């Protein structure tokens, strides 16, 4: 399988007025489209500067109108705070509006405080996610939905909408351990991982082994590795930009945890960008430096999909545009050749 490239974006706040912020983000997404990225994946967060797309569907519908080839979707829809029938209808609309370019990630919601603010029991979010995923997958395959679960019950609901892609848009799962990778492989899901290289490797190894066992000779789907990436004309220039932008992103990342007096158990909460680089989760430099950093990680993990976090913190539109252009012109070809 040819190595492909995607983008992950929290849509975290900077100092721009919101109207200007959204317009600037849409402009850089147009650059992703022209540069040949496979897909753009946006996070869902609430009540925090970490994520300014609390309604991912609204933002994705704008992307559908501003791009031509780029696929797009969620990492992830937080199912505990979405009514499953409304979620189903939004997905079907987006799939048709985009001409079948939608990719969908579902999850439980990574920050429990966001779920609690909605009046839901955050301790139950994994169980709610599991049930609602089953419900939505069932609904994709029927014209009339009946379902009896612990959290949702429906009786003979007529379903007018169906997705354009059959049986449904490609599905994604954030796999952060070998056990979660096994579950994803048995369900036939694409996966992504943004952990340190050793965890990424172990996760992907289990995924491929279980895939062969559970899916027979079916081609592997996308196995995606997420890394912070900043490219500039020189190493020094890229590092200066990335160090500044990461600290702004980290401030947003910690916002809700600091309000509640907790500390997230995440390796992404590094003291600075250099520490994140040392952990293997980020790179900033010239095209040759970035390619040299990523090549062994791709080979070691067996990833066939590299997902760059290339829009974060207070990166300016000019800095992001130059980074994406250099990545597309020089880094993509080098990684594919390697």
β 71-74/102-107 pair status: parallel
> Mean of the per-residue pLDDT values for the chain?
96
Phi then psi for residue 316, to 5 deg, are: -80, 165
pLDDT-derived band at 216 (thresholds 50, 70, 90) equals confident
Query: What's this model's pTM, rounded to 2 decimal places?
Result: 0.96
Q: Kindly provide the b/e burial profile for residues 3-18, where b requires at least 16 CB atoms within 10 angstroms of the residue's own CB.
A: ebbbbbbbbbbbeeee
Is the pLDDT at 244 greater than 90, yes or no? Answer: yes
pLDDT band at 73 (very low <50, low <70, confident <90, very high): very high
Tell me what pLDDT residue 290 has: 98
pLDDT at 267: 93
CB 279 within 8 A of CB 270: yes
End-to-end Cα spacing for the chain: 13
pLDDT at 29 over 70: yes
CB atoms within 10 A of CB 179: 10
Whole-number Å distance between alpha carbons of 19 and 183: 40
Q: What is the pLDDT of residues 257-282, one digit of tens each?
A: 999 999 998 999 999 999 999 999 99
Spatial separation of the C-alpha atoms in residues 222 and 336, rounded to whole Å = 15
pLDDT band for 217, please (50, 70, 90 cuts).
confident
Give 321: exposed, middle or buried? Use CB within 10 Å, 0-12, 13-18, 19+.
middle
Query: In DSSP terms, which residues pair with 147 in a beta bridge?
Result: 154
Q: Is the pLDDT of residue 1 over 80?
A: no
Average pLDDT over residues 189-202: 96
* Percent of the chain with pLDDT strictly greater than 90: 95
d(CA 295, CA 300): 9
CA-atom Rg of the chain in angstroms:
19
Please determine, for residue 220, whether its predicted confidence score (pLDDT) is greater than 70.
yes
**pLDDT tens-digit map of 153-165:** 999 999 999 999 9
* Percent of the chain whose predicted confidence (pLDDT) is above 70: 100
How much is the average pLDDT of 237-263?
A: 97
Give the residue with greater pLDDT, 109 vs 55: 55
pLDDT of residue 335: 97
Helix (H, G, I), strand (E, B) or coil at 307: strand
- 125-174 tens-digit pLDDT: 999 999 999 999 999 999 999 999 999 999 999 999 999 999 999 999 99
Q: What pLDDT score was predicted for residue 2?
A: 87
What does the pLDDT average to over 214-237?
96
Distances (CA, A) of 66 to 34, 73, 99, 125, 205: 11, 14, 13, 34, 37
């Amino acid at each position: 399988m040819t190595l492909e490239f995607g983008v992950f974006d929290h849509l975290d706040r900077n100092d721009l007025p919101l109207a200007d912020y959204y317009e600037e983000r849409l402009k850089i997404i147009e650059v992703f489209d022209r540069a040949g990225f496979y897909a753009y994946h946006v996070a869902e967060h609430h009540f925090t500067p970490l994520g300014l797309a609390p309604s991912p569907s609204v933002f994705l519908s704008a992307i559908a109108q501003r791009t031509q080839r780029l696929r797009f979707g969620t990492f992830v829809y937080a199912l505990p705070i979405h009514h499953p029938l409304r979620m189903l209808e939004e997905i079907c609309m987006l799939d048709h509006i985009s001409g079948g370019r939608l990719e969908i990630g579902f999850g439980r919601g990574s920050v429990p405080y966001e779920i609690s603010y909605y009046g839901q029991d955050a301790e139950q979010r994994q169980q709610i996610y599991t049930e609602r995923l089953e419900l939505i997958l069932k609904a994709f395959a029927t014209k009339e939905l009946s379902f009896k679960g612990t959290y949702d019950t429906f009786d003979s609901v007529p379903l007018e909408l169906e997705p354009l892609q059959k049986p449904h848009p490609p599905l994604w799962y954030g796999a952060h351990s070998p056990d979660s990778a096994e579950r994803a492989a048995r369900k036939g899901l694409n996966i992504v991982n943004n952990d340190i290289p050793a965890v990424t490797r172990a996760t992907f190894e289990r995924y491929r082994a279980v895939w062969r066992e559970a899916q027979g000779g079916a081609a592997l789907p996308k196995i995606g590795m997420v890394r912070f990436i900043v490219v500039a004309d020189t190493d020094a220039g890229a590092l200066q930009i990335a160090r500044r932008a990461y600290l702004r992103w980290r401030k947003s990342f910690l916002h809700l945890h600091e309000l509640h007096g907790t500390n997230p158990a995440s390796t992404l909460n590094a003291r600075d960008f250099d520490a994140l680089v040392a952990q293997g989760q980020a790179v900033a430099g010239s095209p040759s430096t970035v390619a040299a950093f990523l090549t062994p990680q791709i080979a070691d993990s067996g990833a066939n999909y590299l997902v760059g976090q290339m829009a974060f913190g207070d990166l300016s539109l000019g800095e992001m545009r130059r980074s994406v252009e250099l990545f597309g012109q020089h880094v993509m070809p080098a990684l594919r050749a390697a």
